[in-house]
């Protein structure tokens, strides 16, 4: 399966964002359990982060991102890319 990257920027204040972090972490754990090899994290500076995961296609990747509580609750703007690994 190809890798996909959701690069995001927070668009709500921290208190609102933080209300959805636990659900986001549970969502990522579920992706891992489903075989998507997901990883999530945030930039050292305030205001954004990244979700890296495997999916069968861009359509599946879009559907996965639509399930993310941070997206569903309007906490982030994001861009989604297929990441083509050249060295493993």
- 26-62: pLDDT as tens digits: 999 999 999 999 999 998 877 789 999 999 999 999 9
Mean of all residue pLDDT scores within the chain: 95
Q: What does the pLDDT read at residue 44? A: 82
For residue 81, what are the β-bridge partners?
5
Q: What does the pLDDT read at residue 47? A: 76
Number of domains in the chain: 1
Q: Edge-to-edge strands of the sheet including 3-10?
A: 39-42, 48-54, 3-10, 76-83
Confidence category of residue 88, pLDDT binned at 50, 70, 90: confident
Q: How many CB atoms lie within 10 A of CB 52?
A: 17
Q: Which domain holds residue 41?
A: 3-83
Residue 88, domain member (yes or no): no
Q: What does the pLDDT read at residue 45? A: 79
Residue 50, domain member (yes or no): yes
Name which of 61, 59, 64 is nearest 27 in CA terms: 64
Domain at 63, CATH number = 3.30.70.1060
């Amino acid at each position: 399966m190809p890798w996909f990257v959701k690069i995001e920027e927070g668009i709500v204040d921290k208190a609102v964002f933080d209300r959805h972090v636990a659900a986001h972490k549970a969502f990522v754990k579920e992706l891992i359990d489903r075989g998507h090899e997901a990883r999530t994290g945030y930039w050292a500076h305030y205001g954004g982060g990244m979700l890296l995961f495997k999916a069968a296609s861009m359509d599946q990747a879009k559907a996965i991102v639509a399930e993310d509580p941070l997206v569903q609750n309007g906490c982030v703007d994001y861009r989604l890319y297929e990441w083509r690994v050249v060295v493993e």
